Amino acid sequence: MIDLRPALTDYLAMRRALGYKLGRTEKLLTDLIGFIEATAADRITIDLALAWATRPVKGDVSWWSGRLSVVRRFATYLRTLDPATDVPPAGLLPTRSHRAVPYLYSDDDIAALKAAAEILSSPLRILTYQTLIPLLAVTGMRVGEAIRLDRNDLDLEAGVLTVWRSKFGKSRELPLHASTVDALRTYLRCREQLYPGPQAPSLFISSAGTRLLYCNVNWTFLRLVSRAGLKPRSTLCRPRLHDLRHTFAVRTLLDAYRTDADVGTRLPLLSTYLGHVHPANTYWYLSAAPELLALAGNRLERSLEEPS
């Protein structure tokens, strides 16, 4: 028998050393241990894991399955320390993944979102969202990366943004187009006029001078989507904030195909710019664009028609 709480601390430390952040995992497993302790048990069993994972009782099976997968990884670790630990089988709560289909934004869509920002409650909020949304579209940054940016992370002279300690603890530099640098310079100048001396060092600030919160940014974005009249293209393809990142990835490769550039060379560069660990992680961003697949097919056909 082992003490579950110290074991959880060691487990989280080991995985975080590999680059995982595990904020949600820590909350779930802490709750699991509390659940086990309340039953007076001293280890994970399949019955206890299943009883905890299927809470709340009216939850969706995909939610239950996700909770159980968190238990399974922790139990696998615990079993190396205590062979009496049960590891829940992988198929105990089967569920089929329904991954969202990326909503690829056009230039008109981005312009409509910028125009929709005029409904926001203050000039500073309008300015912030009219700068943040296009920046996400032209850099492919994760939303969390953009709102974590500090003013010192932007070098206007060099035209570079530095993203620190993002997913898997990776940092990277993002060279910016001159027009993007000009837009950010304008944002900072107007921001200073609207809110001199903000409370936070962040690049993008709220109307209270504080760092933006993801939940508020996402809620505001959905308001702007509705105002701009952007409609779902199917039940699995709805306008999402994260799809600005998909749009950037697809457009980068479309540009490569249309200019007859070496796509094989550009893909690792795109992967690095997006902050992916491996180029293979970039392929999901590219698989949902029929126009991109058509251009790739056309290039393949041309290569097959050329004499060897």
Active site amino acids: 142, 167, 242, 245, 276, 285
Pairwise CA distance, residues 279 & 267, whole Å:
7
Asked whether the bond before 94 is cis by omega within 30 degrees of 0, the reply is no
Pairwise CA distance, residues 248 & 252, whole Å:
6
Q: For the residues of 245-292, what is the DSSP string, one character each?
A: HHHHHHHHHHHHHHTT--HHHHHHHHHHHHT-SSGGGGHHHHTT-HHH
Pairwise CA distance, residues 42 & 62, whole Å:
28
Pairwise CA distance, residues 207 & 90, whole Å:
47
* Beta carbons within 8 Å of 209's beta carbon, 6+ residues apart: 195, 197, 198, 199, 200
Q: Which two tokens stand for residue 275?
A: 């902050």
Pairwise CA distance, residues 201 & 108, whole Å:
33
